[in-house]
Amino acid sequence: MTESTAHPAGNVNLHATPYGTLPPASPMPSRKPMSLPRLLEMRTRGEKITMITAYDATFAAVADAAGIESILVGDSLGMVCQGLHTTVGVTLEHMRYHTEMVSRGLRRAQATAWLIGDMPFGSYQESKEQAIRSAAVLMEAGAHMVKLEGGGWTTETVHFLVERGIPVCAHLGLTPQTVHSLGGYRVQGKTQASADLLKKEAHALQDAGASMLVLEMVPAPLSRELTEELTHCATIGIGAGKGTAGQVLVMHDMLGLNLGKNPKFV
């Protein structure tokens, strides 16, 4: 009788690494590390960009090994991991911790995915100086880019960060950090006036230097139109139709591991 079949639990690998320890290397063929120029080249060629959230080392390594181009350490961790009702309670220290965990996971896998760290509520609204201090915390934790929510009022901050070498992903449409003022999780840009404003803000953010733009819960025709117009910025949709340059999902939503109903667009 072999060592594994003698085990009370049956055919068990007694030499498996403990506590879900990550393997030393990915079994998949290696690929070049993703970079911002490569992501923008994909956008130009019409190749869809894949993005998914991760909050720990294991999920990050799995996503990287699967060939995902970009991983977002989202402040959605407040709702997914912490049980909060909104993302407002997530702090910069929370984001630093989880960004560091995800970065470690990538290093244990192929270390090829582009890593984006969310700027949480209250970490950049006060001033440009506050924003760069907060962004530096996430970059030092392993992020390659930071993401911040907001329209025209964020353009100066975006420009300030980009000028100092910090790549920025903007976020328009439904911005979860301002869900209270939006009146809930609703589609944005449905009226002509709101659509015109969203378009104006998107162009302003591109002009300020944003290289990527998340469009959340925006009508598909509007997101498609913006994708065609923004030639120097890759649009990433979530609940915004199929016409964007890429798509992002919360991993737990994709896997059905959540505390409520899955969004319709998953």
Could you please report the per-residue DSSP string of 82-142?
Answer: S--SSSTT--HHHHHHHHHHHHHHHHHTT--SEEEEE--TTSSSS-HHHHHHHHHHHHHTT
Task: Find where tokens 């449905």 sit.
Answer: 190
- Known active-site residue 225: no
Give the pLDDT confidence score for residue 130 in this predicted structure.
99
Torsion (CA) 175, 231, 240, 131 in degrees, nearest 10: -20
To the question of pTM greater than 0.75 for the whole model, the response is yes
Give the pLDDT confidence score for residue 26 in this predicted structure.
46
pLDDT in tens, 153-206: 999 999 999 999 999 999 999 999 999 888 888 999 999 999 999 999 999 999
Considering the candidates 100, 149, 201, 216, report the single residue annotated as catalytic. Answer: 216
Give the pLDDT confidence score for residue 20 in this predicted structure.
58
- List the chain residues with pLDDT less than 70: 1-29
How many other β-carbons are positioned within 10 Å of the β-carbon of residue 212? 30
Taking the domain 36-255, which CATH number applies? 3.20.20.60
